[in-house]
Amino acid sequence: MTQRTGGCLCGQVRYRLSAEPVVSRLCWCRDCQHIAGNGTANAIFPTDSIQITGTTAEFSSRGDSGNLVSRRFCPQCGCHLFADSTGRVGLTVVRLGTLDEPSSIRPVANIWSASAPDWACLDPGLPRIEHQPQSPQPPAG
């Protein structure tokens, strides 16, 4: 298993991942577009495999899915790092761009593709899920 590390833009928040991602996807929901100015590239990890140092601020809102989504970011530089959802308890989204080696994880699908802007570049080789995908299950045990 690869030990991955990452952090925010200013370095105040750092994290270490001690598991492989459950799944990795590009999200084109409208909330993600507000965060990134684009889609977001994400990987989902078991929450207890993420070791965080530093302080994060949090903003919660109801997603298009109906789930309450809490997004965590650095209060100093504004960089978004993590998201939790009432629709996937025990799993946490990590923003791929915050990894020290973002190429070490490859997204396998586009989700919420129906709300992507006309100019979005969606890899034609990846499946497109128009709205909310099925929730991944945390690994047993």
Terminal-residue alpha carbon distance, the chain: 17
- Which residue's CB is nearer to Zn ion, number 18 or number 65? 65
Q: Contact between 83 and Zn ion (CB under 5 A)?
A: no
- By rule CB under 5 A, what string of x and - marks binding of each residue 58-77 to Zn ion? ----------------x-xx
Residue in this structure with the two tokens 């890899």, named with its chain if needed: 123
The DSSP annotation for 19-62 comes to S--SEEEEE--HHHHHHHSS-EEEEEEEGGGEEEES--EEEEEE
Site string for Zn ion, 16-45 (x = CB under 5 A): -----------x-x--x-------------
C-beta of 87 vs 138, nearer to Zn ion: 87
**What distance in Å separates the CA atoms of residue 94 and residue 141, rounded to the nearest whole number?**
21
| Interacting residues toward Zn ion by CB under 5 A | 8, 10, 12, 27, 29, 32, 74, 76-77
